[in-house]
Every structure is written in C-alpha cells, then in structure tokens.
Amino acid sequence: MFIILENIVLWLQKRPTIRFNDGISSLSHGLAHECSKIVFRAVESYCYISIYNRFRLVDLSWDNRMTWYLAALSMDFFYYWGHRASHEVHILWAQHQVHHSSEDFNTTVGLRQSVLQGFSFIFYLPMALVIPPSLFITHQHFNLLYQFWVHTEAVETLGPLEYIFNTPQHHRVHHGSNIWCLDTNYGGVLIIWDRIFGTFASDKKDEQIIYGLVVNRPFFDPLKKQTLYTNFVIRKFKDMDNWKLKLCALFFGPSWLPGGPRLGLEKEKFKVVPREKYDVKIPQWCNLYILVHFCVILYGYHKIMSLYQELSALFILVSVILIFTTLTSIGMLFDNHPYACSLEVVRCLSLVLAIQKVQFLTFDENFLLFMEVLFSLSGVFWFLKTVNVLQLVPYEKQEKVA
C-alpha cells in the first residue's frame, strides 16, 4: 500500500514513478531475503535466547514502560554499528551492497536486501544481557518497519524532526554514490548516533545525488547481483601477498589498498558523475507475463510459510530453490539474457511437477489448477521461443533513462 501511495504522490508531483523492472528486481531481492530468514531467524533466536537465559545481568519486566524505551534505544544503537560495519568491513559490504545496487530511490529499494545479510544479527547479541527476547523481537520489527518508508523521494523534508530522526532526506544522502555521501548517515530510526559519532552528512541542494554503486553493475539478475561482489572480495583476498594483507582485504573498507588507511585514501576514491540508467526495453506482454508469475510465486511463498511448521526440511528446501529459480529467470528476462527462454522452460516444467507434490497442502483446488495450466502453457510457449531462437529485443536497443 505504501508503494502504491508513493507512486500516486510521485505522479501528482509530476516526477518519475517506480520503474517496473527495477521495482520488481527490488521486490525479488526482498523475497529472496525473506527465504533466507528460514535459516537465519532460527539461529538468531537460538543464540539470543541462550545468552539471555544463561548470562543476563538483570531481570527486566517486559511490560514496564522504561524497558520498552531501553529496548527501542538499544535496538537502534546496535543497528547503527551493525549498519556501519556493513559499509566499512569489506566482506560485510559484499552482502550489503545489494541494498545499494538500485539506480533509483523509492520504497521498493527498502525491501532490496542480501540473502546473507542475516549474519548481521551478531551485532544485536549484546542486548541479550539485558533485554528480554520478546522485546528484542518486537523492536527489531518496529525498527525495520520504520526504515522502509525513508526510502523515498516523494517526501522532501520533515523540518525540525530532521535533527533527531532518520528521514528520507538523510537516507537519500546515505544511498548516494557521490564521494561526500559515502560512509554517512547510518542511523535506523534516529540520526543522533551519526551526529554523535561523526558520520552525519547534510544534503547538498546544489548537487544531484547519484544512486547506485560507485562502480555500477548494470543487470537485473538477482542471483548474479547477490554473488558478484563476494567473488570480487575473494579475488582481492587471493591477490594479497601475505596473511596480514589478506585479512585487511576482508576486514578493512571497500576502498582500502595496501599502504593506505583502513577506509582508503580520499584522493583514490572514484568520483561518479551523472549517468544514464540501465533499462532494457522489452515488450509490454512480457512485463505482464513477469507480473503474473511474480504474484503467483509471492502468493505461493506466503502460503508455504503459513504452513512452515507442518512441512519437511526437504520440502522447504525444494520450494526455496524453485523460488530462487523464478526470481533469477525474471531478472534474466528483464536483461534479455540469451538463456532466459531456456531457463523459463526448465522452471515452468519443474513447477508443473512440483504442483503434484503439494496436493496435501491447504491450497485452493482452483488455484492449483490455475497454476498447473499457467506453468504448462508458459513452458510450451518458451519452448517454442527456444526452438526458434527468438529474442525479445536485440541487446543494443536499450532505452536510456536520464
């Protein structure tokens, strides 16, 4: 509803609305991240509750007002440091860069997260010495929900609230790839942490903020986006001559080079200039096809997660693989990748076979029939496309969006 509202506001302001391919790409990363929580949330809960039960320093009542205030401040404080580490530690940035990879800035970007971002829960574990688990879980959700809406250009400023809270104006700076935007405004709900620890930066009205990565990687394939930078970190690690430098390649900043400071020299940082956005033009029927299949997979994910405790680990694993395959295929269609048609054939046929295995779930029979027909017809369609070696649009015909 917020995404729809944002589009309406942007349209009324006569400003560019959310691009379909980039928006679906962000939602794809969000869905992939939700799938990863199946593992990370369980590990996080186990570690937090274990520490709380064995090592807590005090017994605070969960329904005490001061405990709620303390939990809220603690959550935001540790989020600041975890977020800051995700930018200033190279191996952590390799995961977090997914969130910054969009060349747009809107509410869908708030959902664009890394599959391995779940490791950041370790930064919250000190809270287990004081904060009851129920309040940790509650304020973790409150904190993340607040951060969703600050990803927008529809809201210019919140006036005096800008001094205390993280706002869209502050977070636009954080997502900029301009040199003056880098390593700034890490706060989640409150911006006071950045003001205290020296990482705050104000918006410059006379300079356009350029979104996306400093070294841009123009493609929509989510699987490639999730893994590409990690491969770069591994290569940098291997290229170092000794173990000290190898560890620096992992745990110093992304801009670090041998002989330089931890976060790299300012003069060696790449200066970005206004650039055209990557936007491959595909037919409207293909966009509609992608929308239908994304909605079907999204519904299927929520249905499976509602029955999570009743399902086997193998079934969950297969379901997640099929979801990842769908999201990857959608990204390749947006990229007009030469193997997109072949992957769609395999994906659709695999889903037709999988439907036969989910009959025991409480899916509506009419919906199951709809999915079986949809994936069968889609598989046949893309098989014919593959046989004819027919591409959607030649690669060189790309619409450039200013």
| pLDDT, one tens digit for every residue, the chain (402 residues) | 999 999 999 999 999 999 999 999 999 999 999 988 887 888 899 999 999 999 999 999 999 999 999 999 999 999 999 999 999 999 999 999 999 999 999 999 999 999 988 788 899 999 999 999 999 999 999 999 999 999 999 999 999 999 999 999 999 999 999 999 999 999 999 999 999 999 999 999 889 999 999 988 789 999 999 998 999 999 999 999 999 999 999 999 999 999 889 988 887 788 898 899 999 999 999 999 999 999 999 998 988 888 877 777 888 888 889 999 999 999 999 999 989 999 999 999 999 988 876 655 556 778 788 888 999 999 999 998 887 755 554 444 444 443
Tell me if 220 is assigned to some domain.
no
Query: Which sign does the torsion angle of CA 84, 90, 92, 98 carry?
Result: positive
C-alpha–C-alpha distance, residues 90 and 174, integer Å: 17
Range of the domain at 122: 2-82+103-158+165-173
Q: How many residues does the chain have?
A: 402
Please state the domain count of the chain.
2
Is residue 246 assigned to a domain? no
**What pTM did the predictor assign?**
0.91
Same domain, 169 and 297: no
Domain contains 241: no
Distance CA 234, CA 250 (A): 8
Is 239 contained in some domain? Answer: no
Domain boundary among 116, 147, 173: 173
Query: Which of 124, 142, 173 corresponds to the end of one domain?
Result: 173
Neighbours of 327 (CB within 10 A): 25
Q: Is the residue at 247 inside a domain?
A: no
Question: Are 154 and 298 part of one and the same domain?
Answer: no
Same domain, 16 and 147: yes
Nearest-CA neighbor of 394 among 350, 336, 344, 343?
336
Detail the DSSP E strand segments found in 123-239.
none
197 occurs within a structural domain: no
Note whether 256 and 262 are within 8 A (CB).
yes
CA distances from 278 to 98, 397, 400 (A): 16, 11, 7
Q: Which of 117, 148, 173 is the last residue of a domain?
A: 173
Name the residue type at position 67: T
Same domain, 153 and 293: no
Q: Are the C-beta atoms of residues 331 and 222 closer than 8 Å to each other?
A: yes
Question: What residue has token string 């999730």?
Answer: 226
| Angle subtended by helix axes 243-251 and 222-239, to nearest 10 | 150
